[in-house]
Chains A and B, each alone.
Chain A
Amino acid sequence: MTDHPKNRLLRPESLTALVISIVAIGFLFPTSKLRSISALLPAAMLIGLIVLGVILVVIDQRKASRGEAAAAMTKAPKRVAGAFLLILGYALATDFIGFYVSTAITIPLVAFAFGYRNPLGLAVATVIVVGTIWMIFDFGMSQDFPTGRLWGR
């Protein structure tokens, strides 16, 4: 995701457009097994996506040949990757070890990892958020949250 990739096809916009076209082609196979009337709209959309993806690649490659720099996806790729990983990690942790434990760990962990390092503030925020969620959803609305597949519940 750099600004000036050596391979022109690795420019973010070209790469995205290629992925769009390839994924759309992949979805066309199950479309062929549908009744024609059921397949009408999805096939039209998928073919449209393939064509538009190709057009987008052509437009972006023409920009590249003119020497125009590719639009940067992010100035801080590590932070973005870290944020995505932490969010995915939180979802997995909720699924496998349970909602309350994961939430009590995630709130201070994310805030700490991204620059808020006040221990008292972290502790107070965690207690307030987890407590409020428990009060409103568990106690007030009887909403069940995942208790963790690892514990067999």
Chain B
Amino acid sequence: MYSDLLHALPNVLEWANFAAVIIGVIAGIVVGAMPGLSATMAISVLVPFTFGLEPLVALGLMAGIYNGAMYGGAIPAVLLRIPGTPAAVATTFDGYPMAQKGEGGFALQVAVISSAIGGIASAFALMLLAPPLSKVTLLFGPSEVFWVAVFGLASIIFLLGGNPVKGLISAFFGVFVSVIGSDPIYGNDRFTFGQLEILDGIHIVILLVGLYALPPVIDLLETPLKTGVDNSKLGTESIWKALPRMKGYWKTWFRGSAIGIWIGILPGAGGSMAAFMSYNEARRSSTNPDAWGEGEPEGVAAAEVANNADTASALIPALTLGIPGTAVAAVMLGGLLVHGLQPGPMLFRENPDIVFGFMWQFLFGAILLVLLGGSLATNSFAHLLNLPRPLLGSVIIVLMLIGVYSIHGRMFDVYLMLGFGAIGWVMDRLKFPLPPVVLGLILGGFAEENLRLALRIGRGDPMILFQNTTSLILVVLTIAVIIGPTLKKRFINSRKTA
């Protein structure tokens, strides 16, 4: 099982695959450093450009961007108290006060080292946990696969928090989009209205770019944020000289990594929750909790280690079961599909070099953070905050159009993407969660195919879906995920009133 992991290493070290990780990390830091842009958006825009690339080059870029963006979000969080990504909110608590005291450079160095440690721990968790889990899922038949899809959707709807009605609407919309095109078994058209362009269904990239890239561009143009960073106040020194000052943080790094990995595996949680939990736990166990929030470097370490530890671990359920733990993981699933890699049990059997290579790329991406996000680079990345947002917005619009147009070489897809973009903007503003739409699109076809296959095996009897232990366990888990949050809420309320 783990021998495949070692066999994949030489491929990853080929110059093109390794260079992709380096470029990805740099691009990720740039994206993360720009408030309003996110790893999800960057990967959505990137995916169509990777069509012609080798899978490991494409996946290396994605892994690098994800790692880089998680650290990049700390740059504006520390220097401007504006989190570059949602996961960097907790970094502002102590990072910004440090910058006010002239220790912004050290705060960023703590952030980069902590991010790298979290990323490395997360990559190891992915390497150790995903292969055995994939072995278990190989035993699944059509009815189990159907329930896995239902469980995945239920998890992301109900565990994501917020309004479950909106979550359900998002998921139903995604599943509905997945059925547009030819029926996979009978071949009759469904909702194509004579448009030949959608006979094969709606390409996931069109939906991804529309939903995840257009709304942030509108945000960039809607609120011109005036930023200005005076790098002379950063107070940066060599990262190697700064390392000895961090020797007392190992407990925080260890605890934050464990929290981040666990949160990453849970569907629907995400880096922000990991960072908050890690920050709170580290503060609780600190000997001087009053200093936290006033510029305590350990606070930056706690937040950054956890939000990076969430990265690769979010791919454990995504790669093995096809259930992404976060929005970025959902977009990455889309990226895998573009390269003909169907996430799920067969991925590990049919493409071990690629899937294990991807895991190595996460590890190298995390290590490269230290080298690429060091003091000199940090100064350069800080300058990015002065880039004019309207100009950035217009360039992203062009990239979106090129990416979507180049899928099939037709403008129809661009118009479709704009339609999804408008829907995505409305959903975003009204707080409809977007990950269930993507997951609905990914799992919808998958669920339908397996449901129909199971029904055929059972000669039309729906009880076939409940006839084995694994299916029943998955049904129980799905019910637990649906009613769990409500029960928890009631329990908390009853304790409050008691």
Contacts and interface: CB of A to CB of B under 8 A. Distances in A.
B314 interface: no
A133 B402 contact: yes
A91 B414 contact: yes
Contacts, number: 158
Interface size class of B (residues with CB under 8 A): 35 or more
A38 B190 contact: yes
Nearest to B447: A41
Interface string B168-211: 11001101100100010110101101000000000000000000
B188 A38 contact: yes
Contacts of A107: 391, 394-395, 398
B280 interface: no
A34 B188 contact: yes
A129 B452 contact: no
B248 interface: no
A45 B179 contact: yes
B394 A106 contact: yes
A124 B398 CA distance: 16
Interface in A14-66: 16, 20, 27, 30, 34-35, 37-38, 40-42, 45-46, 48-49, 52-53, 55-56, 59
Nearest to A88: B418
Interface majority SS (helix, strand, loop, mixed), chain B: helix
Contact of B398 (A27, A103, A143): A103
Interface stretch (B2-10, B81-89, B214-222, B267-275): B214-222
A49 B172 contact: yes
Contact of A110 (B397, B401, B409, B415): B397
B430 A71 contact: yes
A93 to B, nearest CB: 10
A74 B394 CA distance: 20
B223 to A, nearest CB: 7
B444 interface: yes
Contacts of B406: 137, 143
B30 interface: no
Contact of B179 (A42, A75, A114): A42
Contacts of A40: 448, 451
A139 interface: no
The CB with the most chain A CB atoms within 10 A, among B168, B393, B398, B418, is that of: B398
Contacts of B214: 87
B246 interface: no
Contacts of A144: 409
Contact of B429 (A59, A73, A94): A73
B476 interface: no
B254 interface: no
Nearest to A53: B169
Interface of B: 52, 165-166, 168-169, 172-173, 175-176, 179, 183, 185-186, 188, 190-191, 193, 214, 217-218, 221-224, 388-391, 393-395, 397-398, 401-402, 405-406, 409, 411, 414-415, 418, 421-422, 426, 429-431, 444, 447-448, 451-452, 455
11 contacts: A30-B190, A37-B452, A49-B172, A71-B429, A91-B414, A94-B405, A107-B391, A107-B395, A116-B388, A146-B405, A146-B411
Given A74-B429, A116-B389, A116-B391, 12 more contacts: A20-B169, A34-B183, A38-B183, A38-B185, A56-B165, A71-B429, A76-B222, A91-B411, A107-B395, A110-B221, A115-B388, A115-B390
